[in-house]
Structure 1
Amino acid sequence: MSEASTPGQPMPSKRPPRQPRTGLTATGARKAGSKSGRSRAREFALQALYQHLVGGNDATAIDLFTRDLSGFHKADAAHYDALLHGCIETAQHMDALIAPLLDRKMAEISPIEHAVMWIGVYEFQHCPDVPWRVVINECIELAKEFGGTDGHKYVNGILNGLAPQLRAAEVAADKAAGKAG
């Protein structure tokens, strides 16, 4: 037996150690410290919208509570404000857009997935500076992090169904360029 291996000991690896990927965990998810201000704003807005959906809490009270949470100072406060107040103010309109694509009643949708879909619809309609694919990807990440096991797949399906309606020109341009599936 050579010196390189002894019984019960693994062979030493000949590959160099893996280099850490900046901003990502070992699973490929973003590290908490690498999130953009807008991504953080979406997270805080999701938490606030959850309080609204589950507790029926007033937007002003939710806002005051949320701004005191740890890490809020790193969020894009203007985007958070737009999401929180915009989603609550246009909730019925957004639900009317979402409902035809659901395979169940709105009341049966998890409040997390419901709030994530609101964020996606709101950004489709009011944030043209955010590409439609980014809206969907950010919402999928929110649903993965805060929602149920496969909730992100449901959110993805609904938002992909709404994108051609709410961002028609942008989606059509991507399809023409071979970028959209």
Structure 2
Amino acid sequence: MSDTTPRKKGKPNLTEMRRSARSFALQALYQWSLVGQSAIEIEAQFRVDNDMGNTDTQLFSELLRGVIGGSRDLDEAFRPFLDRPLDDLDPVELSVLRIGAYELIHRLQVPYRVAINESVELAKVFGATESHKYVNGILDKLAQRVRASEIRARRSN
């Protein structure tokens, strides 16, 4: 997989840098799912092999290490909303769901709608044709469970 995040001329804004971090994290998690290297090895390889100058490398590292370290817990968080066994998910789809679940559960400073939207965008770029709809549905249900207060507050405004 290669980074397909479009590069604009000039200094990228924080949103673009975070989007790039998520994109690299997805690719690194895909690699982890295929070869099982450690997060440290994959992170080092990605930092050497890719131009990460326009990337929020702290977020990249947090997502990569957090998802790998917490993959079982993340899987259990969204498993009730799946319509098929976890093993039947495409590795890209599974990695996108894990990133979204990680952000919904552990990065409370990120609004739930942003966490879901960023995962949907990853699925559109890297996933199968309709996978973004599946990812959206699963993460929306997870958000209703783990971000219920935030959702209620948003609806009341």
TM-score scaled by structure 1? Answer: 0.77
Alignment of 1:28-177 (within 5 A): 31-33=6-8, 36-177=16-157
- Measured in 1, the distance between the counterparts of 2:97 and 2:109 equals 18
Could you tell me which runs of 5 or more consecutive residues in structure 1 were left unpaired when the two chains were aligned: 1-29
Q: Which structure is higher in helix share? A: 2
Could you tell me which runs of 5 or more consecutive residues in structure 2 were left unpaired when the two chains were aligned: none
- Measured in 2, the distance between the counterparts of 1:69 and 1:127 equals 27
- Measured in 1, the distance between the counterparts of 2:43 and 2:20 equals 15
CA RMSD of aligned residues (A): 1.5
- Measured in 2, the distance between the counterparts of 1:66 and 1:31 equals 18
Say whether the 8 Å CA contact 1:42–1:80 is kept in structure 2. yes
TM superposition shift of 1:31: 4.4
TM superposition shift of 1:69: 3.1
Say whether the 8 Å CA contact 1:50–1:115 is kept in structure 2. yes
TM-score scaled by structure 2? Answer: 0.89
TM superposition shift of 1:77: 0.8
Greater alpha carbon shift after TM alignment, 58-67 vs 31-40:
31-40
SS in 2 for 1:68: helix
